[in-house]
Amino acid sequence: MSTQRRDRILAEMGIKPVWRLRELPAEVEREVSAEMHAEASVNEAPEPAQSHFESASEGRDAAAQYPADHLAANLDWDGLQQAVADCRACRLCERRKQAVLGVGDRQADWLFVGEGPGADEDERGEPFVGQAGKLLDAMLASISMERGKNVYIANAVKCRPPGNRTPEVDEMATCRPFLERQIGLIQPKLIVALGRPAAQTLLGGEPKISASRGRLFRFAGIPVIVTYHPAYLLRNLTDKAKAWEDLCFAQDEMAKL
């Protein structure tokens, strides 16, 4: 990639000053890049393929705990949209203006999963339309992508958590069948989890973003890459460069698929 092109896309993502600070002599830069690549390949190999379509249903009292589960599994897009709009399965329905299913290309290779709608999204019915959304659009542009073109954007929960708090684990679990159905319908080639709640609902456990970056996980056999949430990046500007590395890693992995 030419220096000019790199500068342009980093500027689009808003990380150009950070990149300048980190600028290295060409030969050192090559070594760092080779090391990063080696680290990524080591991480990818031992990761067990994990199907949450299967494991998510293990040991569930499905009717009581996951009321959306049976409903969601066989829905088409219209049915899913309606089921999400009508859902009253958890407390998040009480204060939402509207449920927010997702946006984008329903045959996309790329799926980005965020946390949950904020005030702007609750108002407009579309994910990532506020400040974090602007940064997400810049992040997409940094890897030559555009909202709606071969990319679908969804959230771990479809209703706004009051005060934009982080969704609770039980709220994400209740909403997960909807996300699972979205994934089943889209069949993306690669999923990018934006932030911890997204990683948690897709991968289970208590993932840490710093420890999960640069690794390849799986959801129902689909590769999952974890990076920072754009809202976090708005508060932690120096980590934008890491997010860009993660997107480049995702792009490299996509190219291999």
> Binding residues for ligand URA, per CB under 6 A?
114-118, 121, 127-128, 132-133, 155, 231
Measured between alpha carbons, how far is 61 from 10 in angstroms, rounded to an integer? 47
- 177 or 195, CB closer to ligand URA? 195
- 104 or 117, CB closer to ligand URA? 117
Measured between alpha carbons, how far is 102 from 222 in angstroms, rounded to an integer? 19
Q: How far is CA 195 from CA 143, 226, 238, in A?
A: 19, 7, 16
- 40 or 183, CB closer to ligand URA? 183
Q: How far is the CB of 182 from ligand URA (least distance, A)?
A: 14
- 9 or 159, CB closer to ligand URA? 159
Q: How far is the CB of 29 from ligand URA (least distance, A)?
A: 33
- 127 or 177, CB closer to ligand URA? 127
- Count of H-run helices and E-run strands, the chain: 14, 6
Q: End-to-end alpha-carbon separation of the chain, Å?
A: 21
Q: How far is CA 65 from CA 61, 83, 90, 141, 222, in A?
A: 6, 17, 10, 40, 26
Q: How far is the CB of 155 from ligand URA (least distance, A)?
A: 5
Strand-pairing partners, residue 190, are 110
Which residue sits closest to ligand URA, CB atoms considered?
114
Q: How far is the CB of 115 from ligand URA (least distance, A)?
A: 3
Q: How far is the CB of 103 from ligand URA (least distance, A)?
A: 9
Measured between alpha carbons, how far is 192 from 74 in angstroms, rounded to an integer? 24
